Amino acid sequence: MRELFLTGATGRLGRTVQRELKNSWIIHPCSLSGGDDLTTAEPRDVVPENTDFVLNSAAMSSRAGCMHNPSAAFRLNSLWPRKLAIFCADTHTRMVHISTDLVYAGGVPPYTENSPAVPRSLYGWTKLLGDIAVGNRNPQACVVRTSVLTGNAGAKMATFSEDILSGRVSSFHVNCFRNHTDINALARFLSKCLYSSMNGLVLAAAPYSMSRASYAYTLLGKQIDLVHASDDIPHDLTMRPSVRIVKEQE
């Protein structure tokens, strides 16, 4: 049976990947809540010896958290992926690293694998540095860049749709566009990506973009509170993904 070392195992994507693969893979979960501090760890000390595949979904993804502790954000989002990429290259271990559309500025969509990335936030910069390091240190690794996640994750940090349905988010930007991507469909793609020879940067997201407000209205089917996003965040992060992540019909 294939063995997977999974970082960010208790996060939204980590939990979803575990549900998807639990019956066919041996999963070695790694998470901060499980006592694993990747900001100081060395891969040789945390990756099990018989690991065949590595999926790095760990990240400090809160913009406020990154601003509050930029050193930790840099160590987890930039330095850890670099160290892991070197380790996987040296041990010939297949690696997939998760990236974000927030590496883009939001000014010249649609974005593709060839688009320049100029982040508007510290979080975006730390993620971009990690992406670049993985590509440079392990050309056989795959960097999967996706968008805002939707669907049922059941993690401490909710997906966008979970936030909407729970009422935690009650006003929605009319001028922010993203490829709202189903997390369960993304997990299914990642299970295939791990076992493929796909390498380099790959944009994997829902095939179409819509505003945050339009997505919320479609989900709720009722009148919602509309607001305009401030100028300090990217407005249009529409991607043209080479891998179209489509939710399965129920």
What is the pLDDT confidence band of residue 37, given thresholds at 50, 70 and 90?
A: very high
If we measure between CA atoms, which residue out of 80, 22, 33 comes closest to residue 56?
Answer: 80
As a whole-number percent, the residues of the chain with pLDDT over 90 amount to 93
If we measure between CA atoms, which residue out of 116, 127, 113, 39 comes closest to residue 76?
Answer: 39
Distance CA 115, CA 108 (A): 9
In the predicted model, is pLDDT for residue 32 greater than 90? no
Mean pLDDT, the chain, as a whole number?
A: 96
- Residue with structure tokens 């330095």? 79
Comparison of pLDDT for 7 and 249, the residue scoring more: 7
Pick the CATH number of 2-152+180-207+239-244 from 3.40.190.170, 3.40.50.720, 3.40.30.10, 3.90.1710.10: 3.40.50.720
User: What's the pLDDT score for residue 129?
Assistant: 98
Which pTM was predicted?
0.96
